[in-house]
């Protein structure tokens, strides 16, 4: 099969023939039909997440079950499935407490892929979907209806559940709450959808590009504020009766954005870190004591795959969730470097590789 392999950070991926194993006990082999370019992939490909090379990135995907290993019962060959990085044992404290996204099990690191030289290839987030096939744990896949467009289903593996879930599952935003979403990218736009779905108002999009603020309004934002505006914090306060927002979701991986988001948050508010920021955050404890603000995080939208993905599919099919509009352009695997470069430049909400 073909895969796009990273042999050197910050260099173009090499599309080449690689060998893949058969699924072992509890594993599923999936023929990838579509995989999105997520900013987490880019973080990995430039070395910010610390994976060993060579590496096959990609983790936001969907496809069709090709083969199943021993003891797999939830899927069968031919099933259309969403493939996620979320993996769960079903037995640890977090899993039995309804938090499988925080599974405590220790999963062995092993490779199912080898290049023509026999060299083992790592896979990002135990997926590695910049390839024609992947082998994942049974817990990482969830069946979707056969009439669900498979490229739109791929978006449910990461970007949608991370943004939408941060609002609906983690923060549990209520009607008429004021919400700020910082960063109008593939995750932020779905946080905006989640806020609109929850009945929040106002829903304020914050980004450095005015063009993205316009896009945000088509997904449910009521207002837009440019983060570079010297009066950005003041404008958010004016839109929230002078208090600041009830909820702030920081979906960009920049520490300065978290600091700005905290300043936009009002008393007894919740600021949720969603983006992968790699620098230390500096803040004054007294500001939390006097205002009783909460600063927290959200991992993968606090998602329970087997429950949340079917709900989102139903919401999409009823017209309550925009997925078609998230896809900027589709590319074949041979043009993956072009798709990645477009994403780095901020030209896309989601570029999709289709097979």
Q: What is the pLDDT of residue 279?
A: 82
The confidence score (pLDDT) of residue 347 equals 87
Residue 164 C-alpha from the chain's centroid: 10
- Tracing tokens 């199912």 back to the chain, one arrives at 112
Q: Are 267 and 291 in contact (CB under 8 A)?
A: yes
Tell me the pLDDT tens digit for each residue of 79-110: 999 999 999 999 999 999 999 999 999 998 88
For residue 56, the cross-strand partners are: 123
Q: What is the dihedral of CA 265, 267, 272, 273, to 10 degrees?
A: 60
Give me the residues of the chain with pLDDT under 50, please: none
Distance between terminal CA atoms of the chain?
Answer: 12
Q: Quickly list H helices, the chain.
A: 39-45, 93-96, 150-154, 159-165, 188-197, 210-217, 232-239, 255-264, 285-291, 305-317, 336-344
Task: State the pLDDT at residue 237.
Answer: 97
* Cα separation, 157 vs 61, whole angstroms: 6
Report the relative pairing of strands 350-354 and 27-36 from DSSP bridges: antiparallel
Rounded Cα distance, 200 and 36, in Å: 29
Task: Using alpha carbons, list the distances in angstroms from residue 114 to 1, 3, 5, 11.
Answer: 11, 10, 11, 20
CB within 8 Å of 191: residues ≥ 6 apart: 163, 164, 166, 167, 181, 249, 251, 274
* pLDDT (tens digit per residue) in 9-33: 999 999 999 999 999 999 999 999 9
Q: Residue 314: what pLDDT?
A: 98
308-345 per-position pLDDT tens digit: 999 999 999 999 999 999 999 999 999 999 999 999 98
Q: What angle do CA 96, 102, 103 make, to 5 degrees?
A: 60
- What is the pLDDT at residue 276? 84
Nearest to 33 by CA among 58, 63, 61: 63
Cβ neighbours for 33, distance < 8 A, ≥ 6 positions apart = 62, 63, 64, 80, 150, 151, 154, 354, 355
């Amino acid at each position: 099969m073909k895969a796009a392999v990273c042999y050197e950070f910050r260099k173009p991926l090499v599309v080449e023939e690689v060998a893949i194993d058969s699924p072992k006990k509890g594993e599923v082999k999936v023929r990838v039909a579509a995989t999105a370019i997520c900013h987490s992939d880019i973080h990995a490909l430039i070395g910010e997440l610390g994976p060993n090379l060579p590496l096959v990135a990609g983790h936001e995907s969907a496809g069709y079950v090709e083969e199943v290993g021993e003891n797999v019962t939830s899927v069968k060959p031919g099933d259309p499935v969403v493939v996620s990085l979320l993996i769960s044992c079903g037995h640890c404290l977090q899993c039995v407490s309804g938090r499988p996204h925080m599974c405590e099990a220790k999963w062995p690191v092993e490779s199912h892929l080898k290049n023509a030289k026999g060299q083992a290839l790592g896979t990002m987030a135990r997926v590695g979907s910049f390839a024609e096939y992947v082998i994942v744990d049974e817990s990482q896949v969830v069946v979707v209806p056969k009439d669900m467009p498979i490229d739109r289903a791929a978006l449910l593996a990461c970007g949608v559940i991370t943004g939408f879930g941060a609002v609906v599952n983690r923060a549990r935003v209520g009607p008429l709450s004021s919400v700020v979403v910082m960063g109008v990218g593939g995750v932020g736009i779905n946080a905006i959808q989640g806020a609109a779905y929850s009945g929040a108002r106002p829903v304020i999009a914050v980004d450095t590009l005015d063009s993205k603020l316009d896009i945000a309004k088509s997904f449910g934002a009521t207002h837009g504020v440019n983060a570079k505006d010297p009066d950005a914090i003041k404008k958010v306060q004016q839109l929230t009766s002078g208090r600041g927002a009830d909820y702030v979701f920081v979906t960009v991986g920049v520490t300065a954005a978290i600091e700005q988001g905290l300043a936009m948050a009002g008393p007894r508010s919740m600021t949720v870190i969603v983006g992968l920021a790699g620098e230390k955050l500096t803040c004054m404890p007294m500001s939390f004591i006097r205002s009783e603000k909460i600063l927290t995080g959200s991992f993968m939208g606090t998602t329970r795959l087997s429950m949340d993905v079917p709900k989102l599919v139903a919401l999409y099919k009823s017209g309550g969730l925009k997925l078609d509009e998230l896809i900027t352009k589709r590319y074949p695997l041979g043009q993956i470097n072009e798709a990645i470069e477009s994403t780095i430049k901020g030209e896309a909400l989601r570029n999709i590789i289709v097979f």
